[in-house]
Amino acid sequence: MKVFVVFGSASDDNVSQPLVESLKPVCDSVEFQVISAHRNIDRLHDKITNWQGDAIVAGAGLAAALPGVVAALTPLPVFGVPVASQFGGLDSLASIAQMPPGVPVLACGPDKTDAIALFLDQWKAAQATAIVHFVVPEGIDAAGIIEKARPAAKDKGLTVTSSNAPDAAAFNVYLVAGAEDIRSQAFGLHVPFFKTEDAADPKNYLAVLDWTKRGGLWVGANNTRNAVHAAARLQHHKAEGKRNAA
């Protein structure tokens, strides 16, 4: 597996360098560069559009545009690392995870880079599947947001299913309404779940910050569409046999 790691600043080295070390046992090739989305946009465009490999990991602090810009420039799976420089990384987490539908970034919690090496290791071993299975906590009515994911899934040749338990034959997406719903060691993605009125209250995003610190990879709140788009990038790359051996 060939992975490119890009961070917004050398001042993020305290996070980027342990990440690179954690990826080396999992990947055949790990390339690292500092390229800022805000300061070096032309160089970033050239690098990302010409780079060939399996996945890109992008990290930054503050207004962390880098992972989202990278995801807009490549069809590859993109992992995002919020750097906790201020507010415990709340600013960079929201910048990275709260992407518009269609441009998915799989974000770890602020500075919680171990989740990425674990995910990549599990991805290597996973079978390709065309099923995206939403795991819905007991007592949660998620029918509306799951319905929203169906057109994107159909467009990508994927099928959406849901139940209260994971499906071993599917790519599992865990809806999280409380910390007990997090499956930080399981292969899959997390989607923070909020009722519409609760998603209007800014204070509730603090719960997401807390949840992501417990591990796992995350897309935006209620953003089932980006869970499907992320699954599509992962499955397409695997099914097409595009993984690079060296």
Cα angle 110, 116, 117 (rounded to 5 degrees) comes to 135
Q: Is 6 in the site for ligand RP5 (CB under 6 A)?
A: no
3 burial type by CB count under 10 A (0-12 exposed, 13-18 middle, 19+ buried) = buried
For residue 90, the minimal CB distance to ligand RP5 (Å) is 14
Task: Let me know: does 80 contact 67? Beta carbons within 8 Å.
Answer: yes
Sign for the CA dihedral angle at 68, 74, 78, 82 comes to negative
Return the residues of window 47-106 that contact ligand RP5 according to CB under 6 A: 60-62, 83, 85
Q: Which of 3, 5, 6, 12 binds ligand RP5 (CB under 6 A)?
A: 12
User: Least Å distance between CB 102 and ligand RP5?
Assistant: 24
Question: Least distance from C-beta 62 to ligand RP5, angstroms?
Answer: 4
C-alpha closest to that of 222 among 131, 58, 100, 109: 100
DSSP lists the bridge partners of residue 78 as: 56
Question: Of 11, 159, 161, 163, which lies in the binding site for ligand RP5, with binding defined by CB under 6 A?
Answer: 11
Minimum distance, C-beta of residue 10 to ligand RP5, in the bound complex (Å)? 7
Q: What is the C-alpha radius of gyration for the chain, rounded to an integer number of angstroms?
A: 17
Candidates 8, 82, 104, 215; binder of ligand RP5 (CB under 6 A) is 8
Cβ distance to ligand RP5 smaller for residue 54 or 91: 91
| Contacting positions for ligand RP5 (CB under 6 A) | 8-9, 11-12, 36, 60-62, 83, 85
